Structure 1
Amino acid sequence: MKKTKLVTGLGVLALAAAVLVAADHIDAPDAMGTSADIADFYAFEPSEGSDNTVFAVDLQSNVLPDLAYGTFDENVLTEINIDTDDDLVEDLVIQAIPRDGKMYFFGPVAPSSTGISGEVMVDSPLGSVDISSDTAIVETTDDGVSLFAGPRQDAFFFDFFQFNAVIGGMAPQGFKPAGDPDATDDDDTTAVDTFDGANTMSIVVEIPNSLLGETTAVNVLGLPVYKTWVTTNSKQ
């Protein structure tokens, strides 16, 4: 089986698939500001009772609309790891790697090795899509898999400056966060989305669960889920 070896895990972010989100804006210096920098990872059903699962990976969270759009690094492999038997070891992987303006996807397939090292599973193609710029391009394969890659507005809402003020003990007197049931009109509840107007470089896969197989993994509610996390690996 022909494979391309990529090593050196640069970033990792994990969650259990349900309607969940995890955030990790700005990774270590080696990954920061590149498409190896994992910002957010979402895994969810597109609608209640759907037979599909959506995986959305947001990378490089400092892509501003008034600057040139960011690009995907062709030396970085993004890997969605899927645990189906609740042992927190990946049983399947979905991989994405850019080449010449397109994002190529592989899997879902059992990895040849587990952990932070990865090999491009070129014998298990899933599909490809042109990388979007200002117009979204979605490609749907004959297997019902929908693929997207390109800039999207950062969905993460966070008031970074107010957070620092609270942590530093400098929050305004009477401050109560917006949504606090005890907040009144006299409380300073104004929140500012620090990430408003910023973009991420996003990779999205909507895939039928039939391609992922059965799962014995369960979440904290006792519901069957695909436990999943994402890694980025740099070519050696």
Structure 2
Amino acid sequence: MRKSTKTIIGAGLLVVATGIFVAADHIDAPDSMGTTADIADYFAFEPAAGSDNTVFLVDLQSDVLPELAYGTFDEDVLTEINIDTDDDLVEDLVIQAIPRDGRMYFFGPVAPSSTGLSSQVATDSPLGNVEISVGTAIVETTANGVSLFAGPRQDPFYFDFFRFNEVVAPSPEDNSGFNNPGMDTFDGANTMTIAVEIPNSLLGETTATNVLGIPVYKTWVTTNRRQ
């Protein structure tokens, strides 16, 4: 199994990752482009001030052009939310998600069987499952207070992709720079989203403090493809 990662610092929780192989960021990873192995964005945050829960939100696969339909979750791709609980930047807990027959199955939080470049599905630690949404959003809440979602959502990324390409490689006829206002190329485009809201009691103690003085988890996301 191979991992691709995205590096991001979240506003409410510190999200830390280092690139392994090819970093994935809105279709610029050739080996995962156009599939749900491609990590577009990753967010970790408190759902409300003072909440005792944490939300992990993973956006996979970006379709860029609004007229393109969203894809489907690849059943050969395991998405893994990694959590460092002892401040050594090695995953101590993982939450895993893998699709099967129209449902997303979640496992963890559990200590991984191995760290680094390989993973195995923690089938002995089921967290819950939810029907993959197609139209109306479907959220499943488990008996221990974990809420789960999987399905297409509008891409939150704002970027004038085509104008950017014109600026970085300008033609002799056009070197005027960015337009103001620009055009959001991702407006109306979808990503395939996995969301987990989970009580902090299932995650252990926080391991860092962000610039606002808020206790945070160090967490990153990876996608692993069956080999």
* Shorter-chain TM-score tier: 0.7 to 0.9
- 2:63 maps to what in 1? 62
Q: 1:230 aligns with which of 217, 221, 224?
A: 221
> CA offset at residue 45 of structure 1?
0.8
Aligned length: 216
Query: Which AA in structure 1 matches 2:206?
Result: T
After TM superposition, the structure 1 = structure 2 runs for residues 102-181 of structure 1, keeping only pairs within 5 Å, are 102-168=103-169, 172=176
Structure 2 residues not aligned, in runs of 5+: 17-23
Native 8 Å contact 1:152 1:201 kept in 2: yes
TM-score, normalised relative to structure 1: 0.83
| Cα distance in 2, alignment partners of residues 85 and 33 from structure 1 | 35
Counterpart residue number, 2:188? 197
Unaligned runs of 5+ in 1: 1-6, 176-187
**Contact 2:12–2:216 (Cα < 8 Å) also in 1:** no
Residues 82 and 91 in structure 1, CA contact (< 8 A), matched pair in contact too: yes
CA distance in 2, matches of 1:85, 1:15: 20
Q: Deviations over 1:184-204 (max 9, x none)?
A: xxxx52121010111001100
2:203 equivalent to 1:212: yes
Q: Which amino acid aligns with 1:80?
A: I
Paired position in structure 1 for 2:21: none
CA contact (8 A) 2:64 2:185 kept: no
Alignment TM-score, normalising by the size of structure 2: 0.86
CA distance in 2, matches of 1:27, 1:172: 25
Measured after TM superposition, the shift of residue 215 of structure 1 is 2.0
Query: Following TM superposition, by how much is the alpha carbon of 1:66 offset from its aligned partner in structure 2, in angstroms?
Result: 4.7
Choose between structure 1 and 2: higher strand proportion. 1
Question: Identity rate of aligned residues, in percent?
Answer: 74
Q: Contact 1:63 / 1:70 at 8 angstroms: preserved in 2? A: no
Q: Aligned pair in 2 of structure 1 residues 148, 63: CA closer, same or farther (>3 Å)?
A: farther
Could you say which residue in structure 2 is the equivalent of 1:37?
38
Please list the CA deviations of residues 63-106 of structure 1 after superposition, one character each: whole Å capped at 9, or x if unmatched: 76655541111111000001122211111100000001000000
In 2, Cα distance between equivalents of 1:234 and 1:106 = 17
